[in-house]
């Protein structure tokens, strides 16, 4: 017998078409046991589709799947799981109304005789997996009550219920804190050491270079090549992905600042955040930086009327304003591009145009009547501006790639021409090329006189787009930096609750 290892899985010449789209055009891809194989490519390149073919969600038009060199057909996700391929989705696919344990073992609850569910085993098994993941919730907690990050952990817990040959992670870290990310990477290391093959999809280069052994790149549904991570660099990968290099240097054009558009004085909301005061001027981009859970999203939600503050005042153009609902906020000229696009930003079963142009609040239909043609024109304008990849406006948003869905949300809020635009994690799931386009767009909007708030967990992003950066720690503002005085070091200190004196000591 040969001592050569055989691949954990192999995809050969996979073709997958959708109406108007050739999503995969003859892609081959191999994962060895114990390897972390990163899959990269622009938004819409075909990464998720390739993995959905592997995971039994889509049947390929052509091509063959091999598990340990045995030709295999994946009839359904549960079938794929039974054959050792576990898929952790980019778009969460959990049942909100069910507890954690039922979600972890969805479709395969442990049974006793007469088919009765073995609840004590279910809870004990789930508890063991949750312990391994070091999470702060239990088997009986309702999934709908969990944060997005914790939902992501439930999704990951699902993968650990079987003896997998291969585990696919499709942008798993998008909403995880640094601590949760470290746990995830430990889980991946552990799977690796047990000989499991890992497919890891992410747009975050630093993660790719931290955990992968090889990187394969797709472009427009075609295979572009495979690189050994140790022998390559970000520039080479970017070249392969988008066909050009990117200049990511810090060269933000700061324009003239106008009057104060938004002012917040001593705003508090229970134990979520306290005593928040800041101003945003016309033409200014203010970045909010902090760890996940520092209170940034909650402030944004308050300004958009989704949460009532317990104390403090909000002033727009110098006038005190009360905001109790999104309708109030939109009326006052505040828009929010939410962090959770699936929950708050998009109707997946509706087409691209309607998602972008329909006001997101039901009772806002009283506004001026917009003709179909005008709506298409609005859609076309933002599709071009944001380079949204779709065969046409009639496409259902649920069929777009994850990154392109995010662009639809951004387009929707821009098309309302707000005075104050709040964007929460604007480039989550967006590829490197489009990311720099969206950063440019944010600066352009400021240049046109918008007051912009950018909430981001990515330091390069806040550094790149902001005129000023507000650092938060545990619900409080710890420091405000101008773009001249900010450094990576003092920013890290400010969001960790270290005062400059302590830091220097």
- Stretch near ligand ATP under the rule CB under 6 A, chosen from 234-242, 276-284, 399-407, 448-456: 399-407
Question: What does 309 bind: Mg ion, ligand ATP, none (CB cut-off 5 to 8 Å by kind)?
Answer: none
**Least distance to ligand ATP, CB of residue 330, Å:** 28
Return d(Cα 174, Cα 17) in angstroms, integer. 27
At CA 430, angle to CA 425 and CA 434, rounded to 5?
A: 115
- Stretch near ligand ATP under the rule CB under 6 A, chosen from 41-49, 263-271, 473-481, 495-503: 41-49
Asked if residues 397 and 429 have their Cβ atoms less than 8 Å apart, the reply is: no
Adjacent-strand bridge partners of 469: 287, 481
Q: Is the CB of 407 or the CB of 464 nearer to Mg ion? A: 407
Binds ligand ATP by CB under 6 A, chosen from 33, 41, 56, 197:
41
User: Is residue 400 at the binding interface for ligand ATP, with CB under 6 A as the rule?
Assistant: yes
β-strands 197-201, 214-219 pairing:
unpaired
What proportions of the chain, in percent to the nearest 5, are helix, strand and coil?
A: 35, 25, 40
Question: What does 274 bind: Mg ion, ligand ATP, none (CB cut-off 5 to 8 Å by kind)?
Answer: none
H helix intervals, 109-228? 119-133, 148-159, 178-193, 205-211
User: Is residue 216 at the binding interface for ligand ATP, with CB under 6 A as the rule?
Assistant: no
**Least distance to Mg ion, CB of residue 171, Å:** 7
- Stretch near ligand ATP under the rule CB under 6 A, chosen from 188-196, 248-256, 398-406, 481-489: 398-406
Show Cβ contacts of residue 281 under 8 Å, excluding neighbours closer than 6 positions: 257, 258, 259, 260, 261, 451
Asked if residues 432 and 420 have their Cβ atoms less than 8 Å apart, the reply is: no
Residue 30: count of CB within 10 angstroms of its CB: 18
Asked if residues 453 and 421 have their Cβ atoms less than 8 Å apart, the reply is: yes
Q: Is the CB of 173 or the CB of 335 nearer to Mg ion? A: 173
User: Is residue 21 at the binding interface for ligand ATP, with CB under 6 A as the rule?
Assistant: yes
User: Is residue 224 at the binding interface for ligand ATP, with CB under 6 A as the rule?
Assistant: no
Counting beta carbons within 10 angstroms of the beta carbon of residue 489, is it exposed (0 to 12), middle (13 to 18) or buried (19 or more)? exposed
Question: What does 242 bind: ligand ATP, Mg ion, none (CB cut-off 5 to 8 Å by kind)?
Answer: none
Q: Is the CB of 23 or the CB of 469 nearer to ligand ATP? A: 23
**Least distance to Mg ion, CB of residue 153, Å:** 20
Q: Is the CB of 41 or the CB of 139 nearer to Mg ion? A: 41
Return d(Cα 86, Cα 368) in angstroms, integer. 49
User: Is residue 72 at the binding interface for ligand ATP, with CB under 6 A as the rule?
Assistant: no
**Least distance to ligand ATP, CB of residue 72, Å:** 21
**Least distance to ligand ATP, CB of residue 437, Å:** 14
**Least distance to ligand ATP, CB of residue 18, Å:** 3
- Stretch near ligand ATP under the rule CB under 6 A, chosen from 94-102, 111-119, 138-146, 396-404: 396-404
How many Å from the N-terminal Cα to the C-terminal Cα in the chain? 62
- Stretch near ligand ATP under the rule CB under 6 A, chosen from 93-101, 129-137, 143-151, 394-402: 394-402
Q: Please give the backbone phi and psi of residue 206, each rounded to the nearest 5 degrees, phi first.
A: -60, -30
Q: Is the CB of 89 or the CB of 281 nearer to ligand ATP? A: 89
**Least distance to Mg ion, CB of residue 174, Å:** 11
Strand order in the sheet with 260-269: 273-281, 260-269, 311-316, 319-321
User: Is residue 45 at the binding interface for ligand ATP, with CB under 6 A as the rule?
Assistant: yes
Q: Is the CB of 18 or the CB of 119 nearer to ligand ATP? A: 18
Q: Is the CB of 297 or the CB of 390 nearer to ligand ATP? A: 390
User: Is residue 15 at the binding interface for ligand ATP, with CB under 6 A as the rule?
Assistant: no
User: Is residue 185 at the binding interface for ligand ATP, with CB under 6 A as the rule?
Assistant: no
Question: What does 45 bind: ligand ATP, Mg ion, none (CB cut-off 5 to 8 Å by kind)?
Answer: ligand ATP
Three state DSSP letters for 39-93? EECCCCCCHHHHHHHHCCCCCCCEEEEEECCEEECCCCHHHHHHCCEEEECCCCC
- Stretch near ligand ATP under the rule CB under 6 A, chosen from 17-25, 77-85, 359-367, 472-480: 17-25
Count of positions (residues) in the chain: 505
Adjacent-strand bridge partners of 285: 452
* Closest residue to ligand ATP, based on beta-carbon distance: 403
Return d(Cα 24, Cα 31) in angstroms, integer. 18
Residues in contact with Mg ion by CB under 5 A are 48, 90, 401-402
Q: How many helices (DSSP H) and strands (DSSP E) are in the chain?
A: 17, 20
Question: What does 103 bind: Mg ion, ligand ATP, none (CB cut-off 5 to 8 Å by kind)?
Answer: none
401 to 440: interface string for ligand ATP, x by CB under 6 A: xxxx--------------------------x---------
β-strands 62-67, 70-72 pairing:
antiparallel
User: Is residue 47 at the binding interface for ligand ATP, with CB under 6 A as the rule?
Assistant: yes
Q: What is the DSSP letter of 414?
A: H
Residue 441: count of CB within 10 angstroms of its CB: 18
User: Is residue 351 at the binding interface for ligand ATP, with CB under 6 A as the rule?
Assistant: no
* Residues lying near ligand ATP in the complex (CB under 6 A): 18, 21, 23, 41, 43-49, 90, 389-390, 399-404, 431
């Amino acid at each position: 017998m040969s001592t050569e290892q055989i691949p954990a899985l192999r995809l050969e010449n996979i073709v997958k078409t959708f109406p108007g789209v050739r999503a995969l055009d003859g892609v081959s891809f191999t994962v060895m046991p114990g390897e972390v194989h990163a899959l990269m490519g622009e938004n819409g390149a075909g990464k998720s589709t390739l993995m959905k073919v592997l995971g039994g969600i889509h049947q390929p038009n052509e091509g063959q799947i091999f598990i340990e060199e045995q030709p295999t057909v994946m009839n359904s996700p549960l079938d794929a799981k039974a054959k050792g391929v576990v898929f952790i989705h980019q778009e969460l696919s959990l049942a909100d109304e069910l507890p954690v344990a039922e979600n972890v073992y969805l479709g395969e609850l442990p049974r006793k005789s007469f088919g009765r569910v073995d609840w004590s085993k279910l809870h004990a098994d789930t508890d063991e997996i949750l312990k391994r993941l070091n999470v702060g919730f239990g088997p009986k907690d309702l999934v709908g009550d969990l944060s997005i990050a914790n939902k992501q952990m439930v999704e990951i817990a699902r993968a650990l219920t079987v003896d997998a040959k291969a585990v696919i992670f499709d942008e798993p870290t998008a909403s995880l804190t640094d601590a949760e990310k470290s746990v995830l990477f430990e889980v991946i290391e552990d799977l690796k050491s047990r000989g499991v093959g890992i497919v890891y999809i992410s747009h975050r280069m630093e993660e790719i270079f931290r955990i992968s052994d090889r990187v394969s790149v797709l472009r427009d549904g075609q295979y572009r090549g495979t690189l050994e991570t140790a022998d390559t660099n970000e520039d080479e990968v970017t070249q392969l992905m988008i066909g050009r290099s990117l200049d990511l240097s810090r060269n933000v054009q700061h324009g003239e600042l106008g009057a104060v558009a938004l002012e917040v004085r001593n705003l508090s909301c229970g134990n979520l955040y306290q005593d928040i005061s800041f101003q945003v001027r016309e033409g200014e981009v203010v970045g909010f930086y902090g760890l996940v859970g520092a209170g940034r999203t909650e402030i944004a939600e308050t300004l958009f009327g989704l949460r009532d503050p317990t104390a403090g005042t909000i002033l727009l153009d110098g006038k005190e304003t009360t905001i109790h609902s999104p309708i109030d906020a939109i009326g006052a000229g505040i828009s929010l591009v939410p962090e959770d696009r699936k929950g708050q930003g998009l109707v997946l079963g509706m087409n691209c145009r309607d998602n972008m142009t329909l006001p997101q609040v039901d009772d806002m239909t009283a506004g001026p009547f917009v003709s179909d043609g005008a709506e298409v024109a609005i859609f076309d304008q933002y599709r071009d501006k944001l380079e949204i990849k779709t065969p046409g406006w009639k496409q259902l948003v649920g069929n777009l790639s994850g990154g392109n869905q995010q662009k639809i949300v951004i387009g929707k809020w821009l098309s309302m021409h707000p005075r104050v635009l709040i964007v929460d994690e604007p480039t989550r799931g967006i590829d490197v090329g489009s990311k720099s386009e969206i950063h440019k767009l944010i600066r352009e909007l400021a240049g046109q006189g918008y007051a912009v708030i950018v909430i981001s967990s990515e330091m390069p992003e806040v550094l790149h787009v902001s005129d000023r950066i507000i650092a938060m720690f545990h619900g409080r503002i710890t420091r405000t930096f101008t773009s001249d005085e900010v450094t990576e070091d003092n920013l890290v200190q400010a969001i960790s609750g270290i005062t400059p004196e302590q830091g220097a000591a």
